[in-house]
Amino acid sequence: MSLDKATVAKIAHLARIKVPEADQDHLAQELSAILAFVAQLDEVDTEGVAPMTSVVEHALRWRDDVIDDGGNVERVVSNAPEQVAGFYVVPKVVE
Amino acid sequence: MSELTQLTLAAALKGLDRGDFTAAELTESHIAAVAAARPLNAFITETFDRARQQATASDARRVQGTAGPLDGAPLAIKDLFCTEGVQTTAGSAILKGFVPTYESTVTARLFRDGAVMLGKANLDEFAMGSSNITSHYGPVISPWTGKAPADAVRKLVPGGSSGGSAAAVAARCALGATGTDTGGSIRQPAAFTGIVGLKPTYGRCSRWGIIAFASSLDQAGPMTRTVEDAAIMLRSMAGYDPKDSTSVDRPVPDYAAALTGDIRGLRVGIPAEYRVDGTDPEIAALWQQGIDWLRAAGAEPVDIHLPHTKYALPTYYIVAPAECSSNLSRYDGVRFGVRVPGDSLAEMYENTRAAGFGAEVRRRILIGTYVLSAGYYDAYYLKAQKVRTRIAEDFRRAFEQCDVILTPTAPSAAFAIGERMDDPVTMYLNDVFTVPASLAGLPGLSVPAGLSSKALPLGLQLIGRPFDEETLIRVGGVLETAAGFHTRPPFIAGEV
């Protein structure tokens, strides 16, 4: 599987990372090399094999549905670029 | 040189108990060592004031008779663990200015038991790398130089991603350090710097408060100068945490008690598939030496097969980037960290993430995005998850025939900064021996076992059954004694 420049630009947009056009050729080569490397997996017979979702074979625990934390507004927003009255002030994120 | 920085963690704790020296004295010696070792760039943030306060409090506890199991021990903390009130960077520009308001569970447990934090150790950006050259805060330089030509200052990598932790422990700046291991990030740097590195079973240590790279693989563990020290640290780090649903609720044993020295009758699996083409003859010879040491101690080497070994790295380089692309989507410039404005919301995201992520992280996010994207998910991600099941089955079968597995830790000794940079796949091959156990969630221990012909440390790896860290520690102790690795790196903090 070999990626071209246009595909790199498309993935970069999906990943929301600006990739300057000057970098796209080089990245296409690097990503293609990685994809060529992982293509070895096609050799493995995985017919009827369940995909692994967790290496820990244990049932997830349940907890009581009670409030056990909270009241930490100041700590929650302390890394906000801007805050007003305990709220995050962010750029408009719904367009 | 301070004698106190040469002690093992176990010896330092005994000395504190006996009153030979105080935690304040021990901490001052290590603070001086960290300062003297600044040329190694092993720390991103030094926390000397906090260390002094913790040491003073530790001495008070010892007087009161309430000292914990690690009381007064100065440690380095990988800068992937969130530490309350102390900048946490993950080695990335994108987290500039981030100061957690909470403490990771693992560091909270270390502090509960009395540990002193000297500072936050450098690492590959978001723990993605095998050389510690991808850190935004610059590469870490190994305290080992090898037989470098006198006219060239050849700076070697300490391995990665826990490179700052490894360099700090090897150069005698800290009695121990926390590391994290996703595909080898504790074990490989431990091997490169001649120290012990233990990656516990997935689920043994809580991941809460550790900045996530690949959540199904990430696991914290100790990096120390002896196996006993790793056992002591792990006992404090491990345990169930309601805040991490993948942490496992089972008792934490006294790991150091496993150091009986008795491995008679133990079956040691030697996987044929780890004899890969082009293995460095020195690595092969060291592996054979390890087999001989264990046989001499009464263990029984057993030939085993792990047929899917060669597919572990390609599986890893689908699964880990996929998880990373998802985990790192939170760094969008909206709520914390760096923000680079743009004309639209999408452009703000794109500008922020372009400025905030380095080349390796960008590469892995792009690969992960690709393998998870519509039309490719089944061919790449789902396929890799199925092969991962095969790899785990290999180990399960192998452990019907053996009790522990012995392999080399890395396919070579440390290389120079700047080498292996041209092609990412070549760099990924560093983890060829460590990644399979990671994919299967198994514990792995790297023990320093010898020096290469270039005078660089080499490690042997033990892989164990799930939650059988005790057998790793027991066998690791025997290997350590047999190897008698006491060579110190040319750079020791305060001696140069």
Per-residue pLDDT of B297-326, as tens digits, reads 999 999 999 999 999 999 999 999 999 999
pLDDT tens for each residue of B445-461: 999 999 999 999 999 99
Q: What angle do CA B392, B395, B399 make, to 5 degrees?
A: 145
Query: DSSP assignment of B321-338, as one string?
Result: HHHHHHHGGG-SSSSSS-
Q: Which residues of chain A have pLDDT under 70?
A: 1, 95
d(CA B72, CA B30): 11
Chain A residues lying within 8 Å of B363, measured CB to CB:
27, 30-31, 34
Which of B332, B387, B425 is the closest to A37 by Cβ? B425
User: ipTM of this predicted complex?
Assistant: 0.95
Residue-wise pLDDT for B219-254, tens only, equals 999 999 999 999 999 999 999 999 999 999 999 999
Closest chain B residue to the Cα of A88, Cα to Cα: B335
A27:B366 CB<8 A: yes
Confidence of residue B151 (pLDDT cuts 50, 70, 90): very low
Which pLDDT score, from 0 to 100, does residue B110 have?
98
B42-46, B112-116, B150-154, B289-293: which has the minimum mean pLDDT?
B150-154
**pLDDT average, residue stretch B351-364:** 97
B274: left (phi over 0), alpha (psi -120 to 50) or beta: alpha
Measured between CB atoms, which of B101, B311, B339 is closest to A41? B311
DSSP annotation string for B359-421: HHHHHHHHHHHHHHSTTTIIIIIIHHHHHHHHHHHHHHHHTTT-SEEEEESSSS---BTTTT-
N-terminal to C-terminal alpha carbon distance within chain A: 36
Residues of chain A positioned with their CB less than 8 A from the CB of B128: none
- Does position B153 have pLDDT exceeding 70, yes or no? no
Query: Considering CB atoms only, which of B311, B351, B367 is closest to A18?
Result: B351
Asked whether the bond before B161 is cis by omega within 30 degrees of 0, the reply is: yes
Average confidence (pLDDT) over B131-137: 96
The structural domains of chain B, ordered by start, are: 2-266+401-483 (3.90.1300.10)
Question: What's the confidence (pLDDT) of residue B267?
Answer: 98
Q: Spell out which residues of chain A touch residue B248, defining contact as CB-CB under 8 Å.
A: 56, 58
Give the pLDDT band (50/70/90) at residue B331. Answer: very high
Q: What is the mean pLDDT of residues B414-420?
A: 86
pLDDT band at B476 (very low <50, low <70, confident <90, very high): very high
Where do we find the tokens 């998802």?
Answer: B326
Size of interface A-B (CB pairs under 8 A): 160
Nearest residue of chain A to residue B312 (CA atoms)? A41
Q: Is the pLDDT of residue B152 over 60?
A: no
Query: Which of B94, B335, B435, B439 would you mutate first to test chain A, the one with the most A CBs within 10 A?
Result: B335
Q: What angle do CA B419, B429, B378 make, to 5 degrees?
A: 130
* Type of residue found at B48: F
Tell me what pLDDT residue B496 has.
Answer: 58
Helix residue ranges per DSSP H, B19-155 = 23-36, 48-64, 105-112
Nearest partner of B28 among B55, B59, B63, judged by Cα: B55
CB contact under 8 A, B317 and A38: yes
The Cα–Cα gap between B238 and B247 comes to 9
What pLDDT sits at residue B409?
Answer: 98
Instruction: Check CB contact under 8 Å for B101 and A11.
Output: no
Q: What is the pLDDT of residues B7-20, one digit of tens each?
A: 999 999 999 999 99
Best mutation target, A5, A18, A47, A87, to test chain B (most B CBs within 10 A):
A18
Q: What is the mean pLDDT of residues B152-160?
A: 84
Residues of A whose CB is below 8 A from B384: 38, 41
- Residue in A closest to B88 by C-alpha: A79
Catalytic site includes residue B161: yes
How close A21 comes to chain B (CA, Å)?
Answer: 13
Q: Mean pLDDT over residues B155-184, rounded?
A: 97
Give burial (CB, 10 Å; 0-12/13-18/19+) of A93.
exposed
Q: Say yes or no: A26 contacts chain B, CB-CB below 8 A.
A: no
pTM across the whole model: 0.97
Tokens 């090898």 appear where?
A: B146
Task: Check CB contact under 8 Å for B387 and A61.
Answer: no
Which residues on B lie below 8 Å from A90 (Cβ)? 334-335
Mean of all residue pLDDT scores within chain B: 95
Which tokens sit at B5? 């920085």
Cβ distance A11 to B353 less than 8 Å, yes or no, reads: no
Q: Please tell me which residue of chain A has the smallest CA distance to B334.
A: A90
Contacts of A80 in chain B (CB under 8 A): 335-336
Measure the CA–CA gap between B27 and B78, rounded to whole angstroms. 18
Residue B392 has pLDDT above 90, yes or no: yes
Q: Which of B185, B325, B438, B446 is the catalytic position?
A: B185
Q: Tell me if A33 and B425 make a contact (CB, 8 A cut-off).
A: yes
Q: Evaluate if residue B1 carries a pLDDT over 80.
A: no
Q: Which residues of B touch A42 (CB under 8 A)?
A: 383
Q: Which residues of A touch B367 (CB under 8 A)?
A: 31, 34-35
The answer to whether B166 and B193 are in contact (CB under 8 A) is yes
**b/e B186-216 (16+ beta carbons within 10 angstroms → b):** bbbbbbbbbbbbbbbbbbbbbbbbbbbbbeb
Range in B98-107, B292-301, B419-428 the model is least confident about? B419-428
CA angle B47, B49, B53 (to 5 degrees): 115
Catalytic residue among B78, B162, B165, B199: B78
Alpha helices in chain A (DSSP H): 5-14, 21-38, 73-77
Of B1-5, B111-115, B128-132, B475-479, the range with the lowest mean pLDDT is B1-5
The mean pLDDT of B394-414, rounded to a whole number, is: 97
The C-alpha of A32 sits at a distance from chain B's nearest C-alpha, in angstroms, of 9
Q: Residue B250: phi, psi to the nearest 5?
A: -145, 155
A38 touches chain B (CB under 8 A): yes
Instruction: State whether A19 and B362 contact (CB < 8 Å).
Output: yes
Q: Which of A31, A51, A56 sits opposite B441 (nearest CB)?
A: A56
Measured in angstroms, the CA of A74 and the nearest CA of chain B are apart by 9
Average pLDDT over residues B48-64: 98
Span B95-108, average pLDDT: 97
